[in-house]
Amino acid sequence: MFRDVQDFVLNFSSILWEAMPFIVLGAIIAGILEELLPQTLIARLMPKSALPAVMIGGALGLIFPMCECGIVVVMRRLLRKGLPLSCCVSYMLAGPIVNVIVLFSTYVALDPHYGWPAVALRAGIGYFIACVTGLVVHAVHLRVGTAALLKEVAVPPASAKSISLTVIDGPAAADEPEPKKSVMQRLDNISATALHDFMDITVFLTLGAILAAFAKMLVTQEDIQLLSRDMPYLAIPAMMALAVVLCLCSEADAFVAASFTEMSLSSKMAFLVLGPMLDLKLLLMYTRVFRWKLIATIVTCTISLTLVSSIVLHQVYDPLPLTAGGAPPTPVLPPAAPSPTP
Amino acid sequence: MDHIGDDHGGHDHGDGHAHGHGLSDYYLEQLVTVFVCGAMGLTAVLMYTFGRLDVILIPALRPWVLAGGIALLVVTAVRAVSLWRSVSATRDDHDHGTPGHVHGPDCGHDHAPGDHAHMPGGIYLKTIPLMIPLLMFVMGMPNSSGFSMENINSRLGKAVALGELQDVAAKSGDTLTLDFGELNMSAYDPGKRDAYEGRKVRVTGQLKKVSEKDYELFKLKMTCCAADMIPLKARIKSEIVIPQSQFPDHQWVTVEGQLQFVEIPEKKMFLPVIRIGGKGGLGLQKAQPE
């Protein structure tokens, strides 16, 4: 019993404290965005049609690298500022993968036997899934409207009219004169938003870390490896389930994937692509921004697309000749530090 | 963010009637928020200061937690000062018979309806999970004992069967001191395998018994945090029995012996094997944990 508590505390604490500074950073950025970003600026800058907006969103991680924990906090405020929902979803899903630091750590972990092809596959599949999910979300959004998909806290104020890709045409919000505020008043507003968002999201991060720590006590890597040995099509969903349970940071997950020496590249890709998009702690954190209908859409899309793309990858691409020494190495190089926001 | 706008607006402040429950609830909730966030920031700083992060995070990440804690404390301090000032302003307003306002519609920024924290007990329910890491810190957790032996053993999995080893030709030269990671990496590099095989090497790691003359040598490697810890593995094959009373499982040791690489077809890999116990003695020494 004591040993179980000891292991639980270590797993729980490591997940929580690793994410904590990035939640703080995200909350402060959220406070600044809420206070200083003009209400209609984003909507004016974004393309008016869905596809380019979603594609830009999916690639934003290259310019604004953020880890999956911090991104949720910031997204909530950007949605309020008129960022199209589909674009937000594609950035939120692809950002933690299509990210220079994550791609480099993937290369280090999977080099030399998979190397750059594995990096390209991870980025490509992740980007594809994020964009397709973004487009599906856009279609759902057009059908059911904002209120059915977003929590009130993420809905833009009435002056912004809409967060859909129908860019705000009305000049009302933009043309409203900004009331003069003192520096102290602005700092107060930023701090109030930051503390509110930090507390709101950290509650669910904590609950997610508790769930993940319990799950890690029940499921071991050996179980997954044994379950999936010689059954590659079972290995893919098994590795996807493991990614959801482990709640690993996207900068570190490639090293864990590489430690599954008997797994095919396709099952490793399933692990590496799904993990940054969906895990227990993220699922709980999503509930602070999205309503269940949107969460269900995201979960369905990411899981089904990861499964299908991994199976296709298994069918068409097997870069690993099973010769002696041909297995991917257990990593030894130091990791890149997790990416902060710019 | 939270505000008192809606229910506050219904009050009559001109007749000397005291502020209702909306204002006091608002301040109470804000105070709880400031207290919890401040406590979380302070805990982060103390976790760093007392070395509690050493067992759960890699060195590169620990300063981030410190910086996060300090940033949280600064933001909390700003909010606390602001609240203090607004309380004074509200009191003054009240004394003069004018409606007091705290962080409401005239702040000049939007208030998200979902931010409205007047759900009964909402803020207090949120406080409960946030108290868990604080309580753990007070109770001395996590401590330096690390994962349990059972947990580490489950991460190690079953030792692979090596079968009968073939002798390799000894190479001359000084004893190579290899970092465990370097040893592990060399198993995947044909050039390094050729260069190192037959050389005398010195490696430090932890032991786990397979049989009297056969032990696993491992080192747990953390990439970011303890949750992603994976074992790097090698094998020790001894000519003589290794006394387990002297070298129990998970004992840190420095091994000195001849290196060879053994192919494990079912794992699609080569495993570094260090052969000890020849003429030079056992080739094992207790070592300090790394």
Domain residue spans in chain B?
5-138, 149-286
Q: For residues B258 and B88, which has the higher predicted lDDT (pLDDT)?
A: B258
B177–chain A Cβ distance below 8 A for any pair: no
A187–chain B Cβ distance below 8 A for any pair: yes
A143–chain B Cβ distance below 8 A for any pair: no
Contact list in A for residue B109 (CB cut-off 8 A) is 34-35, 189
Q: How far away is chain A from the Cα of B61, in angstroms, using its nearest Cα?
A: 7
Contacts with A, B 191-210, CB within 8 Å: 193
A34–chain B Cβ distance below 8 A for any pair: yes
Residue B39 CA, chain-centre distance (Å), reads 19
Residue A116 CA, chain-centre distance (Å), reads 22
| Ordered mean pLDDT values, 10 residues apiece, chain A (342 residues) | 85 90 88 81 80 90 78 84 90 90 83 79 96 96 90 71 38 54 86 89 86 80 68 84 86 79 84 93 89 95 96 79 39 42 36
Q: Residue B167: pLDDT above 60?
A: yes
Q: For residues B232 and A176, which has the higher predicted lDDT (pLDDT)?
A: B232
CA proximity to A85, closest of A143, A32, A155: A155
> What integer pLDDT is reported at residue B93 of this predicted model?
60
- Cβ distance of A17 and B56 shorter than 8 Å: yes
State the DSSP code for A27: H
Cβ atoms within 10 Å, residue A19: 29
| Max CA separation in chain A (angstroms) | 71
How many interchain CB pairs under 8 A, A with B?
258
Pairing verdict, β B252-264 and B269-276: antiparallel
CB-based contact B252:B288 (threshold 8 Å): yes
Report the alpha-carbon distance of residue B175 to residue A295 in Å, rounded.
58
Residues forming beta bridges with residue B236, ordered by sequence position? B215, B274
CA proximity to A273, closest of A234, A303, A318: A303
> What integer pLDDT is reported at residue B91 of this predicted model?
66
Report the alpha-carbon distance of residue B97 to residue B99 in Å, rounded.
7
Provide mean pLDDT across the span B126-148: 89
- Cβ distance of A187 and B82 shorter than 8 Å: yes
A332–chain B Cβ distance below 8 A for any pair: yes
> What integer pLDDT is reported at residue A227 of this predicted model?
66
Distance between first and last Cα of chain A: 44
> What integer pLDDT is reported at residue A122 of this predicted model?
95
Neighbour-count burial of B46, counting CB atoms closer than 10 A to its CB (0-12 exposed, 13-18 middle, 19+ buried): middle
CB-based contact A28:A73 (threshold 8 Å): no
- Cβ distance of B1 and A206 shorter than 8 Å: no
Report the alpha-carbon distance of residue A160 to residue A171 in Å, rounded.
9
Contacts with B, A 193-252, CB within 8 Å: 193-196, 198-200, 202-203, 206-207, 210, 212-213, 216, 220-222, 225, 246-249, 251-252
Return the residue in B228, B250, B271 with the most chain A beta carbons within 10 A, the one to mutate for interface testing: B228
- Cβ distance of B79 and A192 shorter than 8 Å: yes
- Average pLDDT value over all residues in chain B: 80
> What integer pLDDT is reported at residue A215 of this predicted model?
81
- Cβ distance of A189 and B107 shorter than 8 Å: yes
> What integer pLDDT is reported at residue A68 of this predicted model?
78
CB-based contact A301:A136 (threshold 8 Å): yes
Contact list in B for residue A221 (CB cut-off 8 A) is 155, 157
> What integer pLDDT is reported at residue A318 of this predicted model?
64
Cβ atoms within 10 Å, residue A334: 14
> What integer pLDDT is reported at residue A258 of this predicted model?
78
> What integer pLDDT is reported at residue A321 of this predicted model?
39
> What integer pLDDT is reported at residue B266 of this predicted model?
67
Q: How confident is the model at residue B161 (pLDDT cuts 50, 70, 90)?
A: confident
> What integer pLDDT is reported at residue B12 of this predicted model?
36
Considering only alpha carbons, which residue of chain A is nearest residue B150? A3
B149-286 is classed in which CATH architecture? Beta Barrel (2.40)
Nearest to A203 among B64, B129, B151 (CB): B129
